[in-house]
Structure 1
Amino acid sequence: MLGDEVGIGITDPRDPEQGLLEAEYPAIASAVPKRRREYAAGRRAARAAMTELGLPPAPISTGTQREPLWPQGLVGSIAHCNTLCIAAVSLTHRSIGLDVEPAVPLPSDLERIVCTPTERHWLKTLPTNDRGLNARKIFSAKEAVYKAQYLVTSQMIGFEDVNIQFEGIDFTADLPSTLTIQSMSGQLRLVEDYLLGSVRIDM
């Protein structure tokens, strides 16, 4: 999905908390055990991805918006759901965004929060049984887009600020005109029981 020049790491967020470096502990000092396990799994996955690129292990601390702070010259993204954690890193891209979701329908009460009027109109054209899963795909695509754009713009945006259009496994995202990036493209794939959303921004 992201190309050969991107390192990938996969871990299980249910595993015991382990593998953190000293600079990473402050971010979870008061976190509940589940959050600590997820955070540690994300950092292990990121270092596994770094190893794929031949890079030495390095700490990945946390910014003010809970975003990973990558070592100089490196960009990446970390995503997890309850049973899978995945990280991607690159030395050759401007930005990367990842998301992983269980391949189950999005609860109907979240559809209006996540989806724009244009997206809801598209969902209404689909068979009823397909609507919830496609709403989940929109959610996953937006999560990947948010992470990718934040690395470049440092701007927070909401679900209502991104409009997703699918063409098979590919999607395009329209962003607000106030950002330095107004559009980007990505992929959304169904892999076993997971939806994997990815966006990369080239140099």
Structure 2
Amino acid sequence: MLVVGLTGGIGMGKSSAAAHFREHGVPVFDADAYVHQLYEGEAVPLIKSAFPGTTRAGRVDRALLAKDVAGRPERLKALEEIVHPLVVQAEIDFLCDQEAAGAPIAVLEIPLLFETGAEARVDVTVAVSAPHHIQSERVLDRPGMTEHKFEALRGRQLGDADRRGRADYVLDSGTTLENMRTDLDGLIESLKLQQGSVMERLRPLRSS
């Protein structure tokens, strides 16, 4: 099975690309969505202990947690040390399940793929990219988004030029998402011809 790492900065069109993979029958693991699940389940007692006052009604209050770690790199690192291993294990289990089901390709959708070293857990990487002014328009159009929040989010992410330089494939979403989907159709057909090897390393790490 070929494991694809899908990434892209905020507002680049990564979620649309992931949805298109799914439309082609390719299974996709959404790392961000899984973190949301953790904040309502497995990670709650761990975060409650490490970050007192950031949970409400048995779940993590994301606004309170964000306030706790804002401008405090050591606190953010402590949070990542709780959440990251849980996400990685879930990704590995997901991939093993998809391989067992006979999927030829599986996708890990990871916003901070290169920033967290997740490229070591995939065979190929795909970055979704758009010019800065288009990215800015898309993000600032979101409810509750401000320039300050946008820049803070971008500050945590690898620059687009660096991401493009490190990716095996780049999808341009700067014209229209429909054009990007057309390009992705061709990429998916190309990926189907490739053989992966990363599962040889990941398979033994599956949880019992």
Q: TM-score, normalised by structure 2?
A: 0.32
**Which has a greater percent of strand?**
1
Answer 1 or 2: higher relative contact order, Cα 8 Å, separation at least 6.
2
